[in-house]
Amino acid sequence: MPARLIDSFASTAALAETFSDAAVIAAMLRFEAALARAQARLGIIPPAAAEAIAAIDRINPGSLSEDARQSATLAIPFVKALTAEVRKADPAAAGWVHWGATSQDVLDTALVLMLREAQPILSADHARLKHALRGLSDQHAGSVMLARTLLQPAPPITFGYKAAGWLGAAHRSWRSLSEAFEGALQLQFGGAAGTLAAYGDRGPELAAALAAELQLGEPGAPWHAHRDRLAALVAHCGIYAGSLAKIARDIALLMQPEIGEVSEPGGGSSAMPNKRNPAGSVVALAAAARVPGLVAAFLAAMPQEHERAAGGGQSEWPTVAGVIQATGSALAAVADTIAGITVNPQRMRANIEATHGAVFAEKAVLLLAPRMGRAAAESLVAKAVHGQTLREGLAQVLTPEQLESLDHPEDYLGAAETFRRRLLEETE
Amino acid sequence: MPARLIDSFASTAALAETFSDAAVIAAMLRFEAALARAQARLGIIPPAAAEAIAAIDRINPGSLSEDARQSATLAIPFVKALTAEVRKADPAAAGWVHWGATSQDVLDTALVLMLREAQPILSADHARLKHALRGLSDQHAGSVMLARTLLQPAPPITFGYKAAGWLGAAHRSWRSLSEAFEGALQLQFGGAAGTLAAYGDRGPELAAALAAELQLGEPGAPWHAHRDRLAALVAHCGIYAGSLAKIARDIALLMQPEIGEVSEPGGGSSAMPNKRNPAGSVVALAAAARVPGLVAAFLAAMPQEHERAAGGGQSEWPTVAGVIQATGSALAAVADTIAGITVNPQRMRANIEATHGAVFAEKAVLLLAPRMGRAAAESLVAKAVHGQTLREGLAQVLTPEQLESLDHPEDYLGAAETFRRRLLEETE
Amino acid sequence: MPARLIDSFASTAALAETFSDAAVIAAMLRFEAALARAQARLGIIPPAAAEAIAAIDRINPGSLSEDARQSATLAIPFVKALTAEVRKADPAAAGWVHWGATSQDVLDTALVLMLREAQPILSADHARLKHALRGLSDQHAGSVMLARTLLQPAPPITFGYKAAGWLGAAHRSWRSLSEAFEGALQLQFGGAAGTLAAYGDRGPELAAALAAELQLGEPGAPWHAHRDRLAALVAHCGIYAGSLAKIARDIALLMQPEIGEVSEPGGGSSAMPNKRNPAGSVVALAAAARVPGLVAAFLAAMPQEHERAAGGGQSEWPTVAGVIQATGSALAAVADTIAGITVNPQRMRANIEATHGAVFAEKAVLLLAPRMGRAAAESLVAKAVHGQTLREGLAQVLTPEQLESLDHPEDYLGAAETFRRRLLEETE
Amino acid sequence: MPARLIDSFASTAALAETFSDAAVIAAMLRFEAALARAQARLGIIPPAAAEAIAAIDRINPGSLSEDARQSATLAIPFVKALTAEVRKADPAAAGWVHWGATSQDVLDTALVLMLREAQPILSADHARLKHALRGLSDQHAGSVMLARTLLQPAPPITFGYKAAGWLGAAHRSWRSLSEAFEGALQLQFGGAAGTLAAYGDRGPELAAALAAELQLGEPGAPWHAHRDRLAALVAHCGIYAGSLAKIARDIALLMQPEIGEVSEPGGGSSAMPNKRNPAGSVVALAAAARVPGLVAAFLAAMPQEHERAAGGGQSEWPTVAGVIQATGSALAAVADTIAGITVNPQRMRANIEATHGAVFAEKAVLLLAPRMGRAAAESLVAKAVHGQTLREGLAQVLTPEQLESLDHPEDYLGAAETFRRRLLEETE
C-alpha cells in the first residue's frame, strides 16, 4: 500500500501499511483474540467462545471512524462490530467479547502491536545506513576536506571523520530509540478503572497470561494514565530524526555545485531536464521537519485527567503514527542517499586550495606566537592572507620547512583519525 | 470517504475527502487543464493540445507517492503520468503538458485549490456553531451560575454571558481565519526561477489568465519562496482551534457529575453501560491538541532556501492538510455538541448556594469597607464564612435590606448582560 | 540594560528592558494609578486616595517572584506591597488600592502596556529594514544572478528581484503583525468574575474611563478567558520571524565563500583571526529558531478553564515576552545586516557562467521543442550540456541569433523586473 | 537571586541563579582556567601563564551580550575581556588565554558545567517528592475513591493506588532524566575544526587532562555538531515535566469544591478574601506548559550545518536553560504541594455514594450476564440505575449476598493494592 499522495515524504509504503485501517483492525482483533484465549485458559470464559472470537479475522472499517466520534473512542463501534461478527458464527460467544476489558486496553495495546510491526522496518534501514556510513568513513579516511563552521571554511578534516560523526550520532540516537521501543512495547490492561476489578482477584494472573499470549512486556501496573513510556519512544524518534536530518542537511549543502564535494544519485526537475537535485536529502529534511512539532504535541498531551484523559490521550494515535512514519521516511531517504552517494575528493582538495591558505591561519599564528607574541602573530597573519596566499604572505617569517608544510591539509588534521576510529569503535 | 481509523478524531469524512489521493490528483489536473486553456487562449500552445490535456480527468495514483521520493517532488511523476495519458489520446498534445511551468506551480496551486474546497466545509460548521451559540446565549441570559477561576468558585455570571464569551472568541477567530483563507487562495505561477521566463514577456499576462481560469487571486509576484500567506492560514487555524477547544474544555468540566451543569448528548463507554461521556468535547480537544505542534512545524519551515526550499517547503503538505482537518474536526465536534447540549439551570443555582454565600464575600467587603475600613472588612468577612452561611455570619453588621440581597446572584451580576449583548452585537 | 548573557541572541538590550522587573512593576503601577484616578473621577474612591496611590512610582521587586508562587499570581504580593507603600504615605488611601479589580486585570493590562512599549522598538527596526531593502532592490535591479532551487542552480533572476521578494514577505508579515498589535492593545478589566459586579451598574463606565486613562482600546467585554487577540499577536510574530529568518538563511548561504555573492560586515572568529562569519544572519536565525515552539506553547495554552485558567493562562507571560524579544532580536540583526551588506555582482555573473549554460537548458528546450517535439528537444539538450557549454552543444541546431542570446542572463529574465516593481509598489 | 518577575512560574530562585550572568561567566572562566592548567601540566603553555589565567575570578558582564551579537558568539568578547584582565596582572600570560581552543569549546562546556549545577537542585526536589508520594500512597492505601475517566465516574480505586501511579511515572521519568544528565555531562573540546589540530598529536591527551580537571566525562570525539546528548536531556525534561503536570492536573481537578477530595495549602485571591486556589498545581502546570515547545525548538535546531551551525546551534542556550528552569519550577511546586496536601477520605466515599451505585454497573452486568446473557444484563442494569439506586434497581434479581456487597467499594477494587505495591517496589 503506497503512502497517501499528501504524505509522500511523510511516510513510506511499508510504514503507511503499518498504520493502515487494515493494520489497526488486525491489531485490535489480535488483542481481543488473545484476551479471549487467555481468559479461556484461565477458565474465565468458555473455550468455545474464545475460539469463536479468535476466529474473526476481518472487520469492515466501514463507518467505524465516524462512529468513533460519537463515543470519543474507536473501541465502542469496533467491539460492537466484532460482537456482531461473532454472533453470526456463534451467538453464545458474542456475550464474551471484550469481557471485562475497557476501551483503552484494546486501543493502547493495539497501538503497541502496531509499533512492534514498525520497529523491524526501521531497524533494517538503520542497519543499512550504519553499514553504508562505516564503509564511507573507512573509504575516505584520507580524503581531506574543509571543515566548515557557520558555513565558512575552517581548518581541514577528513570526509571519513565527518561520516564517522554522522554515524556516531545516528548510532547513539538509534540505540536510545531501540531502548525506548523496548520500554514501550508493553501490554496495557486495566479494565474500567485500572484495577481489573471485573476479574476479581484474578486480574494480575490474567494480565500475565495476556502479555504472554501477545508476547508483550507486562508492566508492574496498567499505564492508562501515565504515558511516559510512549513519550520516550516519541521523543527518541525526534532525536533520531534530528540526527538523520543533520546528515541530510550536510549532504544538500555539500552538493551545491559551487561546492560540489558529494553528489546524490537521482533527483530530476520538471522544468530543467538536466538538473540534479539532492532529492534524498530533501525528502529526509521534509520528513524530519514534521517531527519536533509532533513530539511537542505528545508531550503537551501528557497531563491527562485522572484515570483516562478527556482529550489529550485521545489525540495520541495520529501523533505517534505520524512520528514513526516521518522518522522512518527520513531514515529510508538517508539510507538510500548514503548508499548511493558519490564523493569527489579532488573537489574537496580544490576547495581547500581555493582558500589560498587562509584556513591555516590558526596554524600560522600558533607557529609565530611563541616567537613574537600572539597579538603580533595574529596581526601579521591577518595581513598575510590579503591579496596573496598565506604561504606567500609568510615567506619571510617562517622557516622553509614550516612554509613547505604550512598549507598541507594532511599536516594539520590533529586527532581527526583518532576520533574517527573511536567513533567507529563505539558503533561496533 | 471516511477518515482513516488512525485519524478518527483528527479529521472528518468530508475533510479527509478534501485531501484524498483523488482530490490531490483532481486539483493537479485542474491546474494543468487551466494552464493549457489559458495558454491556448493566448496562442502559446495549440487549442487542440489544450483540449486534449483538459480532457484527462483521472490519473491512477499507483506508485506516484513512491516515485515522488525519487525526485523530491510529486509533480515529476504526475506530469509524466499525465503526459502518458495525453499521448494516448493525442500524441501531438503530449509535448505541451505543463508547458513552461515548474513543479511548485502545480503543487502550490493544487494545495490552494484543495484549501478552497475545505473552506465552505468549515464555514458551514462555523455558521451552525454561531447560530447555536447565539440561541444558547439568549436562552440562558438569565441562568445564573458560578464563575470559576482556577477551578474554584467565584462570584456569579450567567450562562448566557459565558456562551457569549465562547461565541465572541469563536467569531473573532473565524473572521481572522476567513481573511487568512482569502489571503492564501492565490495562484502560484512562477516557472523555474519565479520569472516566468519561459513565456518571454507574456508571463504576467498568462498568469492573469490562469488566475482567472482558476478563479484564484493573482498575487503581485510568485510566492514560491515566501510562505507568509499560508502561514497566516495555518496560524489562524491554530487560534480558531484554540478558541474551540476552550469551549470544549469548559463543557467537559461543567459536565462532571459533581458539577452537572450541562450535559452532552451521546457518549457511551465500552465497560460501563450507563456511563455518559463528554464525547464531543473530548473529540474536539483531541483534534485541537494536534494543531499547535503543526503550526510550529509550519513556522519552523518558513526560512526556505533561495528560490525553492531544500526540505522545509517539501514538508508543508501534510502539515497544512493536518491543520485544516484537525481544526475542522474540532469544529464539527463542538458544533454538534453545542447544538445538542442540555443546560441545567437548577443545578447551576444549587452550586452557587452550596458555597453558602462565600462567593459573595467580595460584595460583603465592598459593603462593609467604607464603614470599617477594608482590612477590617476583609477580616470580618473571612471569619463570617467559616462554619455558617455568609448571611448568618454577617447578620449583625448588615442592614436587613443588605442581608436580603447579599447572596442573591441576580443582584451581583454587574455588567454581565451588557457585556453579553455587546458580544452578540459584535457577531452580527 | 543589556540582555542576559544566556539570552544574548534571544533578546536585545532595548527589548530586555521592556520586560525587565522594573518595567513589569512600572506597568502594574500604571494600571493601579489609572484605576484609582478613573475611580476618583467617577466618585468611586476619594480623590486623595487616588493621588496617594498614583504617587507610588517604585516597588522593590524583592521576593515578589517567589511570593507569587504561593498564590499562583504575581498580583497578590504586588498589591500587598503597593498597599504597604501607600499606607506609609496615607493610611486612609491604602484601603482603596486595587479597589474592585482582580489579579488578572492588572496582570493582563500590564502585559499589554509592556507590549505597547515594545511596538515602536520593532517598528523602528522594521522601517530601517524596509528602507534598506528597497534601496538594495533598486540598486541591484540589473544585477543578474542564479536562482537556486533545492540549492541547485536554476535560470537567472536579479538580486533586485530577490531583495524585493524578501521585502514583500517582510512587509506583508509586518503589516499583519501591526494589525495584531492594534487588536491586542486592549484593556482587560473584568473584576473577580468578568462582570465588574463590584462597581454595581457603573462597571462599563469605569472600564471606559480606565481605557481612556491608559489610552488603550476598550473591548466589548473582558477577555480574561479568551486569548485570541494575544494569540494573533504571538502568531504573527512567528510569521514575521519566519520571513526574517528566510532573509537570513539566504544571506548565510550566499556568503559561503564558494558562492561569494554577498558579504556581511563583521563576524570574527575566536580561533581563526581572519575568518569572516555571517554573524548577523546567524544571530537572526538563532533568535527566530526560538519562536515556533513558543507560538505552539501559547496556542496549546488557549483552552483555559472557565473564567480564569488553572495553568495555561499563568504560563503566558514568559511566552509572550520571549516571542517579542526573539522576534525583535532577529529583526535588529537582519536590519543591521541588510544595511551593511556588500553585494558582488561580478561573482553573481561568474556563478551563472560557471554552469556553462546548463541553467538555460529550459530555454533551449522551449526553442527547439516546436521544431522537433519536446521529448526530442529535452533529449538533445540533456546531451548538449555534457562535457561542453550549452552553446557549443547546440551550435548545430540553433540559429546564430538564438545561439548568441542563448546564455545571456539578461535575455532570460522574463517578468523579474515587473514582479520586482509590483512588490515594491505594494510596500509603499 | 530571585527569578525575574516575568519568569515567576518559569523558574525558581535557585535555578535562576544557575543560569545567571554570574553563573555563565563563572562557568566560562572555569573552562579557561582548567584548560590553562591542563595545558601547563602538559607543558603546552608556561605554568605561570596558567596561574595568571586561573586567577581571574570575575569578568564584568558589561556589554558582553551586545558584543556577542557582532560575532554571533559570546566567546569572542568574553575571551577578549578575559585576555584584558589577564594582561593587567601578567602581560606575558595574556597571549596564552584560550590557547588553541574554539568558541564552541568554551560555550558548550560552560553549558554543561551549568547543567551540572542544576542537577542536584532537581535531584533534591525529586527525592522530596518521591518521599512524600510514598508516604501518601501508604497512608491512603485504604482510602477508596472514584476512578474518573473522561472526567466521569468509573469504578472505585484507592487514593493510595492513584498516588502510586503518580509516583511510578515520576520515578521512571526521573530515572531516565538522570541518565540523560549523565550522558550530557561531557566535555566539548575540539578546536577550530573538531580535530584539536592546534595541539599537534597531543589533542586527545590534552582533552583527557581537561576532562579530568573539570571532572566531566570525555566523549570519544568532540560533539560540536552532534547534539543528541543534549537533546536527550531536554527531551527527558519534557517527559518528566509531563509526568509532574499530570499530578498537578489531577490535584487541581480533585480540589474543585464540588469534588473536594484533596486540598492544597495556601492559594489566596486578590478579589475574594476567603478563596483557596490550587496554587501549587497551577504554578506547576504553568511551568510545565512551557516545556513541549522548547523541546520542539531544540529538536528543530538539531540539523546543524557541517562542523558548526549557522543559527540552530546558537539558539540552544536559552532553550536548554528554559527547559531546566521550567522543569525545576514545576517540580518544586509539585513537591511542595504533595508535601502539604490534605486528603479527605470522607468526601471521596461520599462522591462514590452520590453515584447511587451507577459505578458498579459493570460489576452488576458481570454478575448477571452468565445467567441471562450479556445483552440482557446490560439492558437490565441500564434500566436499574435510572431514578433509584442500583441496589434498589436490582433488588429482585440479585441474591441478598450479592446485593449487600454490590456497591461496597472495598469489594470491587480488584488488583488496586497489588498494583500499588508493585509500583512502590519499582521505586525503591
* Per-block mean pLDDT, blocks of 10 residues, chain D (428 long): 94 98 98 98 97 97 94 96 97 95 97 98 98 98 98 97 98 98 98 96 97 97 98 98 98 97 77 76 98 98 97 97 98 98 98 95 91 90 88 93 94 98 95
Strands D262-263 and D342-343, sheet pairing: antiparallel
Can you give the pLDDT at residue D36? 98
CA distance A80 to chain D (A): 11
3-state secondary structure of B329: helix
Q: Which residue of A has its CA nearest to C380?
A: A273
Output the CA–CA distances (angstroms, integers) from residue A393 to A109, A152, A378, A384, D417, in the order listed. 70, 21, 13, 4, 81
CB B192 within 8 A of CB A274: no
pLDDT at B380 over 60: yes
Inspect the interface and report whether the beta carbons of D71 and C318 lie closer than 8 Å. Answer: no
pLDDT at D276: 84
Q: Which residues in chain A are closer than 8 Å to C254, comparing Cβ atoms?
A: none
Question: D355–B382: do the CB atoms touch at under 8 Å?
Answer: no
The vertex-C52 CA angle with C46 and C53, nearest 5°, equals 90
Q: Pick from C7, C8, C315: which is nearest to D289 by CB?
A: C315
Min distance C23 CA to chain A CA atoms (Å): 31
How far does A383 lie from chain D, in Å, by closest CA?
Answer: 19
Q: Which chain D residues are Cβ-neighbours of A150 within 8 angstroms? A: 72, 305, 308-310
CA distance C74 to chain D (A): 8
CATH 3.20.20.450 fits C5-346, yes or no: no
Residues of B in contact with D277 (CB under 8 A): 149-150, 152
Say if residue C266's pLDDT is above 80. no
Calpha distance B104→B190 (Å, rounded): 8
Ranges in chain C annotated CATH 1.10.40.30: 355-426
Give CA separation, A330 vs A245, A334, C22, C295, in Å: 7, 6, 48, 25
C288 sits in which H/E element: helix C279-300
In chain C, whose CA is at the least distance from the CA of A276? C152
Q: Which chains touch C (3 or more CB pairs under 8 A)?
A: A, B, D
Q: What is the Rg, in whole angstroms, of the alpha carbon atoms belonging to chain C?
A: 29
Q: Half-sphere exposure of residue C224, counting CA atoms within 13 Å on the CB side?
A: 28
CA A61 and chain centroid, separation: 29
d(CA C162, CA C247): 10
Residues of B in contact with C197 (CB under 8 A): 155, 362-363, 412-416
**Nearest residue to C318 via CA among C292, C298, C332:** C298
One-letter amino acid for residue C420 of the chain:
R
Among A299, A308, A319, A410, pick the best mutation site for testing chain D contact (most D Cβ within 10 A).
A299
User: Contact D256/B256, CB-based, under 8 Å?
Assistant: yes
How many of the other CB atoms lie within 10 Å of CB of D120?
10
Do the Cβ atoms of B285 and A314 come within 8 Å? Answer: yes
pLDDT tens string C284-312? 999 999 999 999 999 999 999 999 999 99
Question: In chain C, whose CA is at the least distance from the CA of A285?
Answer: C150
Instruction: List CB contacts (< 8 A) between C255 and chain B.
Output: none
What are C332-368's pLDDT values in tens digits?
999 999 999 999 999 999 999 999 999 999 999 989 9
For the segment A261-297, what is each residue's pLDDT rounded down to a tens digit?
A: 999 987 665 555 556 899 999 999 999 999 999 999 9
Name the residue among A198, A289, A414 with its Cβ closest to that of D203: A414
C200 contacts on B by Cβ (under 8 Å)? 414
Task: Out of A281, A289, A310, name the one closest to residue B278 (CB).
Answer: A310
Which of A157, A197, A289 is closest, CB to CB, to D413? A197
pLDDT digits (tens, 9 = 90+) for D111-125: 999 999 999 999 999
Q: Determine the average pLDDT of the residues in B277-288.
A: 97
pLDDT over threshold 60, residue A378: yes
Q: Which of C213, C334, C238 is nearest to C289 (CA)?
A: C238
pLDDT tier at B269, thresholds 50, 70, 90: low
Ranges in chain C annotated CATH 1.20.200.10: 5-346
Cell of B76: 515529476
Phi, psi for D409 (deg, rounded to 5): -60, -35
Residue in chain D nearest C336 by alpha carbon: D70
* Best residue in B282, B319, B320, B327 for a mutation probing chain A (most A CBs within 10 Å): B282
Catalytic residue among D37, D290, D308, D391: D308
Mean pLDDT, rounded, of chain C: 95
CA-nearest residue to C169 within chain B is: B226
**Cβ pair B374:C199 closer than 8 A:** no
Condensed to tens digits (0 to 9), the pLDDT of residues C314-329 reads: 999 999 999 999 999 9
d(CA A97, CA D4): 58
Q: How far, in Å, CA of D222 to CA of D404, rounded?
A: 70
Beta bridge partners of D149: A308, D152
Which of the following CATH numbers is that of domain B355-426: 3.90.1150.220, 3.30.1360.10, 1.10.40.30, 3.40.630.30?
Answer: 1.10.40.30
- CA separation, residue B2 to residues A22, B9, B24, D139, D367 (Å): 14, 11, 16, 50, 38
Q: Are A246 and A169 in contact (CB under 8 A)?
A: yes
CB < 8 Å to D64, chain C = 2, 5, 8
- Which residues of chain D does A362 touch, with a Cβ-Cβ cutoff of 8 Å? 192, 197-198
Beta strands B342-343 and C144-149 are unpaired
Cell 498534445, located at residue: B93
Residues B145-158 as b/e (b if ≥16 CB within 10 A, e otherwise) read: bbbbbbbbbbbbbb
- Contact between C296 and C378 under an 8 Å Cβ cutoff? The reply is no
Closest CA of chain D from A30, distance in Å: 22
What interhelical angle do C374-384 and C361-372 show, nearest 10? 140
* Contact status, residue D281 vs residue D248, Cβ threshold 8 Å: yes
Is D269 a residue of the active site?
Answer: yes
The reply to whether residue C161 touches residue B195, judged by beta carbons under 8 angstroms, is yes
Residue in B30, B134, B290, B308 annotated catalytic: B308
The CA distance from C365 to C371, in Å, is 10
| Distance in Å, alpha carbon of B4 to nearest chain C alpha carbon | 25
Tell me the catalytic residues of A: 269, 308
DSSP-based three-state secondary structure for C108 = helix
Residue A283 C-alpha, separation from nearest chain D C-alpha, in angstroms: 14
Beta bridge partners of C217: C186
Cross-chain Cβ contact C273/A154 below 8 Å: no
Nearest to C361 among A272, A378, A382 (CB): A272
Is pLDDT at A353 greater than 60 in this prediction? yes
Indicate the pTM of the whole model: 0.98
